[in-house]
Amino acid sequence: MFRKFYLLYGLLTLGTAAFGQYRGWSLDTINQLKNVPKSVRDNPGSYRSVYSGYHHYTGGK
Amino acid sequence: MSAGTPPLSGPPKPQAKALNCPKCGAAIVLRSFGQAETVVCASCHSILDAKDPNLAILQQFEAATNVSKPLIPLGTRGKLRGTDYEVIGFQRRSTRVDGITYYWHEYVLFNPYKGIRYLSEYNGHWNDISICKTLPTADGGEANYLGETYKHFQSAEANTDFVLGEFPWQVRVGEKAAVTDYVHPPRVLSSEKLDKEVTWSIGEYMYGREIWDSFKLPGDPPEAMGVYENQPSPLTTNIRQIWIAFAAFAICLLIVMAGFDMLAKKESVFNQTYTYDRREAKGELSFVTDVFDLAGRTSSVEIKTYSPVSNHWIYLNYALINQDTGQAWDFGREVSYYSGYDSDGSWSEGKQNDSVVIPSVPPGHYYLRVEPEVDPSLPLIPYTIEVRRDVPVFGIYGIAFLALLLPVVVLSWRSYTFERSRWSESDHPPMDFSNISTSSGDDE
């Protein structure tokens, strides 16, 4: 029983990996937005990234 | 029911011989059609010679403190694996190991056409036992019977504590026999040496529920405790076959990975170097790049950033924006590199380059909005931004590999712990891993 399950599971895993690669899946977390105004191209300052103001690491060892 | 074996249903047949105990006068019923060597009086527990028409007393034992009630009452009839049997005898036996006495029970079953067979019960674990038809061969740690190899499990001295009913041998309370068990789950091969006589028997594990159903016993069977020596693993899968399947999938995964890596375009669609100059950085710092074309199917986009920072950092707020649809992917990336010397020697951390992969970006015309933030102590720093279309993401294969591996590891671990429990009760405790076979049987 488990052998059949594992064969199906393995095929599904392989298929998912191949499909993900084909569709360009990524492990990085990216914030996706819709309907960004076209005015950004002419006035980049009209858009503010959600990541601005990030507290930067300034140390080293 | 096997061919030619009439059922034993209904009331006791008139052939059963009714006699009286010469000791106490209680009625003695012989059910085994003359196959019994001894019969035990249920009233006074005298062991009588069943071959003697006068039932000569062979032994008397004090049962008051040793009474053990059979779970299957004598005279109970049932169909065991297709053949009708009647329970005609019962004995309790024991062995003493490391100061602890272990008890088990044995039942004598009789069918007038099939003869005698036995059931044994220990802590809710049952075995269907019959005398070997051919002589097994035993050589130290292994025994062979009908082409099957059995591993030595344990050797012990078995003591007969209590008897009841009929027995096809000259049974005696207090009798001691040297018992050696060899296992090949779900079977157990046992040799029992009494004086100079050695009897080999073969047993097959049965679940209590099967026994209860066979003899139509009321209630539930006692719950099985622990793992018995020949108990089949609940994992019915051959672990080795699963590992082979895993290896095959891993190779397929490598082939898929190599194939997609070769087919991936990895096309550089934008590459530009900028310089952040603090002296000129007044007011709005953000800017947009030229428009570039992301062609082909929906696929990944990699944004690579390089900056020759040393003990500094640069942070870039990015937005990849589709000029036509307004869809955007917003993210921030830091490039920082620190190095130096201390009492431990030289050290470094961070990198001068960074890469991020944006998932599933449809084709279209895109540009980047970039907003740099730079270490205040840096007056001037160049940085390069490169955009590549359709790049492979190897982390997906890593996750797939782990997903393939995980069930195999879990199954192997469960099998290992089960076998470890089994062998912990043997003469070969589990530290000797050669005893533990991960192959727990055939699939289904």
pLDDT in tens, chain B (444 residues): 344 445 555 544 445 556 788 888 888 888 877 788 888 888 888 888 888 887 877 877 765 545 678 999 999 999 998 999 999 999 999 998 888 999 999 999 999 999 999 999 999 999 999 999 999 999 878 999 999 999 999 999 999 999 999 999 888 889 999 999 999 999 999 999 988 889 999 999 999 999 999 999 999 999 999 999 999 988 767 889 999 999 999 999 999 999 999 999 999 999 999 999 888 777 788 999 999 999 999 999 999 999 999 999 999 999 999 999 999 999 999 999 999 999 989 999 999 999 999 999 999 999 999 999 998 888 899 999 999 999 999 999 999 999 999 999 999 999 999 999 999 989 998 765 555 554 444 443
**Residue contact B256–A58, C-beta within 8 A:** no
Across the interface, whether the CB atoms of B359 and A59 are under 8 A apart is answered no
Interchain CB distance below 8 Å, A27 and B286: no
CA distance B323 to B288: 11
Q: What is the phi/psi pair of residue B221, to 5°? A: -70, 155
Closest to B62 measured CA to CA, from B159, B163, B158, B157: B163
| Cβ neighbour number for residue A41 with a 10 Å cutoff | 16
Chain A nearest-CA distance from B241, in A, is 8
| HEC sequence for B109-150 | EEECCCEEEEEEEECCEEEEEEECCCCCEEECCEEEECCEEE
**Nearest CA among B274, B199, B261, B291 for reference residue B390:** B261
CA distances from B37 to B33, B56, B161, B168, B433 (A): 11, 11, 18, 5, 45
- Asked if A41 and B360 come within 8 Å (Cβ–Cβ), the reply is no
- CB-CB: which of B301, B313, B396 is closest to A20? B396
Pairwise CB contact (< 8 Å): A56 & B252? no
For B291-318, b/e burial (b = at least 16 CB within 10 A) is ebebeeeebbbbbbbbbebebbbbbbbb
Provide the β-strand partners of residue B347. B340
Which of B257, B331, B366, B378 has the most A C-beta neighbours within 10 Å, making it the best mutation to test the interface with A? Answer: B331
Give the SS3 label for residue B240: helix
A chain contacts of residue B338, beta-carbon cutoff 8 Å: 59-61
Question: Chain B partners of A12 at a C-beta cutoff of 8 Å?
Answer: none
Please tell me the distance in Å from A5's CA to the nearest CA on chain B.
10
Question: How does strand B197-206 pair with strand B125-131?
Answer: antiparallel
Please give the DSSP secondary-structure letter assigned to residue B439. Answer: B
Sequence-ordered alpha helix ranges (H) in B225-283: 239-263
ipTM for the predicted complex comes to 0.86
Q: Beta-strand (E) ranges in B287-408?
A: 287-288, 292-294, 299-306, 312-322, 328-342, 345-351, 353-361, 364-374, 380-389
Distance from B268 to chain A by nearest Cα, in Å? Answer: 16
